[in-house]
Amino acid sequence: MTLSKAYSVGDTREQIDTTIGQHLDTVAARDPEHIALVVPHQNIRWSYGEFVAEVDKLATGLLALGIGKGDRVGIWSPNRYEWVLTQFATAKMGAIMVCINPAYRLYELEYALNKVSCKAIITAEAFKTSHYLTMLQALAPELEVSPPGALASAKLPHLTIVIRMGDAASPGMLNFDKVCEMGGEAEYQQLLGCSGTLNAADAINIQFTSGTTGTPKGATLSHTNILNNAYYSGLSMHLSAADILCIPVPMYHCFGMVLGTLACVAHGATMVLPCEAFDPGPVLQAVQDEKCTALHGVPTMFLAELDLPGFADFDVSSLRTGIIAGSTCPIELMKRLIGEMDLAEIVIAYGQTECSPINAMTAIEDSFERRVTTVGRPHTNWELKIIREDGTTAATGETGEVCSRGYGVMQGYWEDAERTADTIDSEGWLHSGDLGEMDAEGFIKITGRIKDMIIRGGENIYPREVEEFFYSHPSVQEVQVFGIPDEKYGEQVAAWIQLKEGESITSEELQQYCAGQITHFKVPKHIKLVNEFPMTVTGKLQKFIMREEYAAELGLSP
């Protein structure tokens, strides 16, 4: 179909109209002996029958504590089996799971728990340099004298229940394993009754978005939102019960919990959590040991795996598919994924947390060129369009803001009607803030963020265009282009560039490489060679930090 304007509709399919708990029970009943969850670092290997039993134990324990439908339950932990149990137990009993970023510190934790009025939090003891229990005790010193399950905190007035992982005892806290033993026959009957009282449209998850400015926003998602997104994403990968998916991406983000564990449950496949936090060695070991057929990651994760000394010693021949999330995949990386990791059917996924999260995806059948230059076409049951600043639909090939509409659009930001209205318009279109363009066949290219656009002396410069040019240089591994203040032009183009291992080239030589190849005003005035980039725990590069640090380093003021 030829499109005269940048507007496209994805394939349509019948939606799943059950809750996550109902779907899990159906899948488990179909083949209870099939392996559901493998967590090598915790020696966990559960069949679907065993997995459902463990989910039910936690759900009934939470019910025994007085947690009910609609109550918010925070989960603050790296990738562990307890995380997965919490995900499905809260869904089954109708509580709303709140994903707490593992990197949060005191201020952020206090804000998140209070913003959504968390009644309970399930927490690991620590993760890297974050001592979770110590931080909770700092915010709620009343834990020292509170009976477990009856916290009354001045700073955290809604939080009454703190459940810690591990065997050690902590004042005012309950142990995860003990909570799983608290449910009796009454709670099991109550859990059975939940199935008839829950609705697929009910809110089931709150995800805090990591905006570059302002306080985090709690995107509120339903069973329908995330279960269908997981199911359709699995279909795009041709996922089935025969597949074994390695999930090294963080569970607290939609990538891990929707495109990872929930996609597996949606299709009866096997979930593998190779490590608490991404580490290329354990990931490759898990792929080899479990004969994984699928592997998820962001580009930096795949590069770390491919560049790991001894990579060639791992047998990854079982792999065939997986998802690279975010933006387009560099050509050289895609070639290596296909040639060295046997990921011939890997796909690119694009979306936002507010979209549950995927609204566009490449297909296994798409050409190599499509998979490295676009983020695919609108996903199943999605509409996408590109709009100009005045709100009109852009022409094919014209750059504008990417907007999407479909079953997966969030219910809104938790108790934040104003920012919800700023994001979702009166016709149900979610405005992403991303810049993109659509071709005549509906394939979408992401060119940057609206806020990332550089305006130099009245010229609009899209960082992605300059970045793509630098990727053509044989010495360049990674590049990030952004604007920094300039007294004469308002902004100047700056670039941070990471060279490939063993390569040596100067900033001046990189600037000379641009001469005559790209328009003069797009050539970065400032280039810094770096070994790493600031990024979130999900692998999202943080240009605003680069901009601030580099401007300060150069003595520039906004």
- The domain ranges of the chain are 7-15+215-449, 45-199, 453-553
The span from the CA of 354 to the CA of 420, in Å, is: 10
Instruction: Give me the CATH topology for the region 453-553.
Output: GMP Synthetase; Chain A, domain 3 (3.30.300)
Phi-psi region of 249 (alpha: psi -120 to 50; beta: other; left: phi over 0): beta
**Domain at 45-199: CATH architecture:** 3-Layer(aba) Sandwich (3.40)
| Paired tokens of 411 | 């219910």
Per-residue pLDDT of the chain (558 residues; tens, 9 = 90+): 344 579 999 999 999 999 999 999 999 999 999 999 999 999 999 999 999 999 999 999 999 999 999 999 999 999 999 999 999 999 999 999 999 988 788 888 998 999 999 999 999 999 988 899 999 999 999 999 999 999 999 999 999 999 999 999 999 999 999 999 999 999 999 999 998 899 999 999 999 985 444 578 999 999 999 999 999 999 999 999 999 999 999 999 999 999 999 999 999 999 999 999 999 999 999 999 999 999 999 888 898 999 999 999 999 999 999 999 855 688 889 999 999 999 999 999 999 999 999 999 999 999 999 999 999 999 999 999 999 989 999 999 999 999 999 999 999 999 999 999 999 999 999 999 988 999 999 999 988 778 787 878 767 787 887 888 899 899 999 999 999 988 777 789 999 999 999 999 999 999 999 987 887 888 999 999 999 999 876 677 888 899 999 999 999 865
Q: Distance between CA 218 and CA 455 in Å, rounded?
A: 31
- pLDDT in the model for residue 214: 54
| Alpha helix stretches (DSSP H) within 253-297 | 254-256, 263-267, 280-290
Instruction: Give the sign of the dihedral formed by CA 533, CA 536, CA 539, CA 543.
Output: negative
Q: How far is CA 428 from the centre of its chain?
A: 23
Residue type, 201: A
- Torsion angles phi and psi, residue 271, rounded to 5: -95, 135
Distance CA 93, CA 192 (A): 9
pLDDT of residue 412: 98
pLDDT given at position 537:
62
User: CB-based burial of residue 108 (10 Å sphere; 0-12 exposed, 13-18 middle, 19+ buried)?
Assistant: middle
Identical fold, 7-15+215-449 and 453-553:
no
Say what the pLDDT of residue 538 is.
62
* Residue 197 tokens, joined: 């009282």
**Residues 6 or more apart in contact with residue 215 via CB below 8 angstroms:** 111, 115
Contact 61, 44 (CB under 8 A): no
pTM, two decimals, is 0.86
Task: For tokens 């309970």, name the residue.
Answer: 120
CA torsion sign for 411, 415, 419, 422 is positive
Nearby residues of 100 by Cβ (< 8 Å), 6 or more positions away: 74, 75, 76, 109, 112, 113, 121, 208, 252
Please, what's the b/e burial string for 290-310 (b: 16 or more CB within 10 A of its CB; e: otherwise)?
bebbbbbbbbbbbbbbbebee
Evaluate whether 439 touches 396 at the Cβ level (below 8 Å): yes
Report the CATH fold assignment for 7-15+215-449.
Rossmann fold (3.40.50)
Cis-peptide into 171, omega within 30 deg: no
Tokens encoding 495: 């670039």
Kindly state the tokens that stand for 496: 């941070």
